[in-house]
Structure 1
Amino acid sequence: MTAWVLRATILGALVVALRVLLGVAMAAWPTYGTFWRAACLLVIVGVVVTWAVRDGRTGTDNLTVRWLAAGFAAGLASSAVCWVLDQVPGIELGDAGILYELTSAASFILLLIFLPALVGVAFGLSRSGRSDESATGAEQPELATTS
């Protein structure tokens, strides 16, 4: 399986599961909405940063494109799935329309995955002892001088 597809599938499923849990928690404890929303955001960001740090430490190429594609696919897919689930009686996810879900919510999920991933990759690259120049090419040989 392609690396970005794996990330998009797992992170999209995580977003859907957290939105369903958030809907249940908001119905049960509506006065703790801020706490539940912050907890869900921290879980998503924590998973993304941890995975991205691991990617950065391995030093593979095209991490920016990989995480952008994963965020885009996860955002669109999770928003579409959440809209479908919101149509099921008994599941409350906020009654957002399909236009909102596929534009604003998908964009938010994209940024929620992509931006922490860039931070995590940068941190992972810095912890691996490699810089961007040493990762892309060989070291320049020193010129010998004759006297």
Structure 2
Amino acid sequence: MPPSRSRPADPPTPACPPDAALPPTEARPSRPTARFRLRVTVGDAIAIGPGKIALLEAIAATGSLTEAARHLGMSYRRAWLLLDQINRSLKLPAVDSAKGGAHGGGSVLTAVGEEVVTLYRGIEATAEAACADALKRLLALVAR
């Protein structure tokens, strides 16, 4: 058996500087914010959530699952798996996709997909409006 090689010890890590010493982009945000993140679950699985809604919106904007994935910075496989989860979670599919070929493929939101996005964004807006005063008071208590 060959002798084991040990790597040299790493130099000690200096203590982290206080926020004031960090460049502005790395410092704490100058103004606290709050946002609602609605998730609809079925068992342990998230059927509808912010990432899946963003994917549906990107598909609607680009007309392509490939372009939507690229726009969101995720792999095509990841986008495809998320879309499959969305479609399996709903009674009817949210997206209708045509395979590529000589005329190219494409993806469009179905009426159900459009309604899911509209309802989701509407619920977010309603929740934010209903809680605006309380959120303002809460954010006033957060250190800046």
Return the TM-score normalized by structure 2.
Answer: 0.31
- Normalized per residue, which structure has more strand? 2
Relative contact order higher in (CA < 8 Å, ≥ 6 apart): 1
Return the TM-score normalized by structure 1.
Answer: 0.31
- Normalized per residue, which structure has more helix? 1
